[in-house]
Amino acid sequence: MATLIKVCGMTEAENIRNVEQLGVDMIGFIFYPKSPRCLCEMPEYLPTHAKRVGVFVNENKENILMYADRFSLDYIQLHGTESPEYCRSLQSHGLRLIKVFSISHLKDLLATSSYNGLCDYYLFDTKTPCYGGSGNQFDWNLLYRYSGPTPFLLSGGINPYSAKSIKEFRHSRFAGIDLNSRFETAPGIKDTERIETFLRELKESSI
Ligand SMILES: O=C(O)c1ccccc1N[C@@H]1O[C@H](COP(=O)(O)O)[C@@H](O)[C@H]1O
């Protein structure tokens, strides 16, 4: 059973504090100007227990380094078409990476092999023209064909009714899940109660 819980796309201090108190492992901040969850200004509270993840889409290195420093980011999530060379270059600056792969067909998994050794985690998300935050799921059965060494987070449209299917999903590299748009009251604002209930169900339903 996966253990890591990442809640992504948070923007407000009190909301961040409340979600962190649920014991989640990672909290994500989206630094992609076209996202409705883009973090425009530094919240008055940033997580101190949960790891801080910065989400970028084809952002230049200088900006990523600037945000990594300013927000003391623990991980950089690359949600665009960033190359292995680009990942290597970020890694050489001491950044820990989560590379996203948008999945709609089996062949989308092939690209992962070029990133082995460069990332702490992969994240598998649903293919969408907006890069992420679609609220749609992809066919998780495709991931049974993933045989790489890098652990992965499962993402894309995970919702309050997903607990049973997450519990049933088994893979040796399955490290955790990413909750985003399906747990919101408004873009960038998470429904803490809904997340709490979901996490309880996830625990109850696990072996
Ligand atoms: O949420 C967004 O607006 C977003 C925009 C651009 C790149 C990534 C984004 N979010 C990431 O999308 C996935 C899936 O989200 P959802 O559950 O389908 O809403 C998640 O990993 C977020 O980190």
How far apart are alpha carbons 114 and 135 in whole angstroms? 28
Query: Could you give the CA distance from residue 63 to residue 68 in angstroms, rounded to a whole number?
Result: 8
CB of 53 within 6 A of ligand 1: the answer is no
Q: Which of these, 199, 202, 6, lies nearest to 98 by C-alpha position? A: 6
Q: Binning pLDDT at 50, 70 and 90, where does residue 1 land?
A: low
- Which of 198, 33, 64, 54 lies closest to 190 in space, CA to CA? 198
Known catalytic residues are 8, 125
Burial class for 65, CB neighbours closer than 10 Å (0-12, 13-18, 19+): middle
CB of 132 within 6 A of ligand 1: the answer is yes
- The string of pLDDT tens digits covering residues 64-99 is 999 999 999 999 999 999 999 999 999 999 999 999
Which pairing describes strands 184-186 and 51-56: parallel, antiparallel, or unpaired?
Answer: unpaired
- Expressed in angstroms and rounded, the spacing between residue 180 Cα and the centre of ligand 1 is 6
| pLDDT confidence bin for 3, thresholds 50/70/90 | confident
Domains of the chain and any CATH numbers: 4-205 (3.20.20.70)
Q: Whose CA is nearest to atom 6 of ligand 1?
A: 132
Residue 205 reports pLDDT greater than 70: no
CA-nearest residue for atom 15, ligand 1, is 133
Q: What is the DSSP string of 55-72?
A: EESS--HHHHHHHHHHTT
4-to-57, 88, 199, 202 alpha-carbon distances in Å: 23, 25, 11, 12
In the 3-class helix/strand/coil scheme, how is 81-126 assigned residue by residue? CCCHHHHHHHHCCCCCEEEEEEECCHHHHHHHHHHCCCCCEEEEEE
| Distance in angstroms (rounded) separating the CA atoms of residues 18 and 56 | 24
Mean pLDDT of all residues in the chain?
A: 96
Find out whether the beta carbon of 20 lies less than 6 Å from any atom of ligand 1.
no
ipTM of the complex: 0.98
